Chains A and B, each alone.
Chain A
């Protein structure tokens, strides 16, 4: 396996919606382009349609009439999954209990008629790559969750798929293991350089793994962008609140300032709006002395997290404001503080959301 970037197929999803037999609309017609070698993350809460979209790309679900799935410009819509050459990792891993680890990894190659010697070499290569040496002859029920995840990945990659599809591959694991495997997975996906579509409800997975992230809400695409775009310039309140921690502030606007109970906050504002919904990330708020500040409030509570401390401040906004302060700041609940926020850090959101 060479480690050059940009393997696999380019994917286009063209007006793919999905209505189930019972009439529920799982996915609004959506159009999406995924570049060769790109890692695209479908992110959203459960029931947002992300898994349905993945299954349409895989060929496990047919899109509603009019929808098309194209690989490298070729219409794959009527092609069943077994002829799409996709590698898929399921949330439950779906390893075959009747086969050993190496038989699982080699199964796709066996189906393709790869001679056993060549197959064994490829399996050995993947065992090394996914770091599961020594487990080749184990039965599936003798593996830990993390080991199963690696076997599932090795099995999906073994067939040199055009597209790698991962459906919440880390969700079944406990938190500590999830963090470790996440960075391991990231390195592996970069090394493979294959077109990857990754479904998750965990925004930190999406941030770390995605070249681009598609945030989905109630069967529709809420926003598409790089992790930075999604984080810094969310297009709706839903995206702002789903990605990272966010303070949502509702206020009237006067002379390019938000008018808040605790004072006035300058903003960039091109159009003349009477009121706005704004997002302010906790880490963009600086704590100053109360006296000189244009915006101030009272500390309600402090949680010391380690690398920082999280203050909950009342009286500044119409609801409690979360502020991330340096871990060295000495302060206590009840104290009155000033809050300094750069106008760049205030993101105005469309009012209807």
Chain B
């Protein structure tokens, strides 16, 4: 009887906490498909806001994905070899470099953006192009890729695997391709998942770096909240959810499959 009481109260508490977190999301999504939010859901359900958002922000959404995957490509191309080199070399210099790569985690995005603006703001064409935002995102997401790949290296004794491949005659590039990357795959996947979602959701840095013509999803969201009906902004949130959740699930499944292998 007493156990049952404890279980019930725990269940109620859990549900309350969960609903505290979930209800705002549900309200926000439902607002996006309500004709008039102030009159409530009885005013009718519509997709007109979603359509409006799509009309206004399709370019922004597209650009967001372009930037996210370009960021992923760059962090993969630079971060994985960097993690390999840092792990194999070891020593104090490697740790200093690792610290420097990790630094953007601790520095506010605004400060990074400000530094980029001060340094490269005068290069007009670069400043106005989406590549400027890309640079910011790469700086911000690089530590996540490097760290998660290095974490895998630490668990599988990659140094000895590398040495044994070398003893069999493999050049550094062959070793990297045949042995290092395949065995670091779980870390690379975890890193990729983080890089893409962080890039899609990044606001601080992007807000400082964007121009009216180079906006990403979260910037567009802020824009619509600031200047349009609540229903439009909510519809925007809905689109954001629809875009990012399948991506998250797909990458999670991929990572799980890889872990089971």
Contact = CB atoms under 8 A, between A and B. Distances in A.
Given A94-B160, A96-B183, A108 B91 contact: no
Contact of A156 (B167, B171, B174, B178): B167
Given A96-B179, A98-B182, A159 B168 contact: yes
B9 interface: no
Contacts, number: 60
A306 interface: no
Contacts of B252: none
B178 A90 contact: no
Interface string A101-131: 0000001100110000000000000000000
Nearest to B182: A98
Interface stretch (A68-76, A79-87, A206-214, A319-327): A79-87
B256 interface: no
Contacts of A111: 168-170, 174
Interface residues of B, number: 19
A62 interface: no
B166 A94 contact: no
Contacts of B168: 82, 107-108, 111, 155-156, 159
A87 B178 contact: no
A155 B170 CA distance: 13
User: Which has the most chain B C-beta neighbours within 10 Å: A21, A85, A95, A97?
Assistant: A97
Interface residues of A, number: 26
Contacts of A188: none
Contacts of B163: 60, 81, 88, 90, 94
Given A94-B161, A97-B183, A81 B167 contact: yes
A112 B95 CA distance: 36
A88 B168 CA distance: 8
Contacts of B174: 111
Contact of B165 (A80, A86, A107, A156): A107
A58 B167 contact: yes
B156 interface: yes
B157 A107 contact: no
B23 to A, nearest CB: 46
Contacts of B178: 96, 107
Contacts of B164: 88, 90, 94-96
Closest 7 CB pairs of A and B: A108-B168, A94-B164, A98-B182, A88-B167, A94-B160, A111-B169, A81-B166
